[in-house]
Amino acid sequence: MTRGKVLVTGASGYIAGFVVKDLIDAGWDVVGTVRSLGKADAVRTALGLTAEQLPLVAADLTGDAGWADAAAGCDYVQHIASPLPVGTPKNDDELIVPARDGALRVLAAAKAAGVKRVVMTSSVAAIAYGKPMPPGGFTEVDWTDPASLDAYAYVKSKTIAERTARDWVAANGAPMELVTINPGLVLGPVHGSDFSGSLAVVTQLMNGAMPGVPRIGFPVVDVRDVAALHVTAMTAPGMAGERFIAAGKFLWMGEVAEILKSRLGDRAKRVPTLRLPNFVVRLSALFDPVIRTVVSELGRTRACNAAHAKAVLGWTTRPAEESIVDTARSLIAAGLVKQ
Ligand code: NAP
């Protein structure tokens, strides 16, 4: 006997794959969206699911087609799709428009279908930029200022999308509820070769893609813990409007490199040990658009405090070291990093 039906948007994505699997394991019927049904077989194969277990509907965040069909008959929505590119787009709107307008399309379709609650994947990007870090780290009361100088395109897209979604639900949503999950840098094992840009931190280190390690850092969180929080937040009573940071320890990239080297030995032989001075990174950024995206992060600590999810939802996280090692082991096993 099924518990009900859940729409997962962007079922081809890294986090979404784990949410889909957890929901199915917990007895929910799941329908997913993909931008193109051409991806359907690859998505199901990566997750080890049949077409019956994971029906897929084509829907793009930039268009209206497919959303009403996808949401029909659903009790809940996990709205996870949003553009997450490596590097900087030519124009900020390439990320802002699909993130914001796509969220509105999903919310409107969910409301029309009688969905009870939408869980939307936001980010610490919507929390921790454009203001000094409070003692103890950023919390759910903090909001990024999208007009601040350190708010790059992705940061703006997540902030504007979450704000817009909250405003829309406040004005039009009742009785449908909205909860957001705001993850830090998501790491962990991969289901296939189509994984998130967030794993670039580990792939670049493992491949020795950089001559040294820039002084940038992130609040790290495991994809398995992020997925579990999405599922718990979906049905926990009394959570309308809640916002949950999903983040663990803040680690510098140099610490990630040290963990890989000390735990994986020869398998991490390409991981650089040299620490790159900030001026070298700034200089390289003049020539490399990918490096340019991290310049504003040099030396910045953006620790985020997940006490709220722990207290309210009993959320637990595995140690960051475990997530980092599991990421690398999984990439090695799948032949996705040089050995
Ligand atoms: P991902 O693997 O790149 O997943 C992104 C998903 O969004 C993919 O399914 C992608 O579809 C879909 N998507 C992108 N543009 C779309 C469009 N125009 N129309 C429809 N679908 C579109 O990355 P992820 O890490 O799982 O990210 C999932 C969510 O978590 C995003 O909302 C992201 O902002 C958020 N998040 C991620 C992290 C992190 O560190 N990974 C941290 C905080 C928040 P395709 O497969 O067709 O490209």
Q: Determine the pLDDT at residue 193.
A: 84
Predicted TM-score (pTM) above 0.95 = yes
Average pLDDT over residues 234-239: 98
Q: Determine the pLDDT at residue 108.
A: 98
For the CA of 60, the closest atom of ligand 1 is: 19
pLDDT tens-digit map of 60-101: 999 999 999 999 999 999 999 999 987 788 899 999 999 999
Interior/surface letters 205-241, b for 16+ CB within 10 angstroms, e for the rest: bbbeebeebbbbbbbbbbbbbbbbbbbbbbbeeebee
Mutate which of 64, 84, 123, 293 for ligand 1? The one with the most ligand atoms within 8 Å of its CB, which is 84
For the CA of 124, the closest atom of ligand 1 is: 43
Average pLDDT over residues 123-140: 97
CA of 299 to the centre of ligand 1 (A): 27
For the CA of 246, the closest atom of ligand 1 is: 43
pLDDT tens-digit map of 153-162: 999 999 999 9
CA of 266 to the centre of ligand 1 (A): 32
Q: Is 111 a catalytic residue?
A: no
Q: Name every protein residue with a CB atom under 6 angstroms from any ligand 1 atom.
A: 10, 12-16, 35, 60-62, 80-84, 98, 102, 121, 123, 158, 183, 185-186, 196-198
Return all residues near 77 (Cβ < 8 A) that are at least 6 apart: 6, 7, 8, 9, 71, 106, 110, 115, 117, 118, 119
CB 66 within 8 A of CB 58: yes
Average pLDDT over residues 24-29: 98
Catalytic site residue from 5, 21, 111, 158: 158
- The domain 5-190+218-249+303-319 is placed in CATH, from the list 3.50.50.60, 3.40.50.300, 3.40.50.720, 3.40.50.2020, at 3.40.50.720
CA of 196 to the centre of ligand 1 (A): 7
Q: Where are the domains of the chain?
A: 5-190+218-249+303-319
CA of 87 to the centre of ligand 1 (A): 14
| Residue 254 to residues 24, 98, 144, 278, Cα–Cα distance (Å) | 38, 34, 26, 13
For the CA of 11, the closest atom of ligand 1 is: 9
CA of 80 to the centre of ligand 1 (A): 6
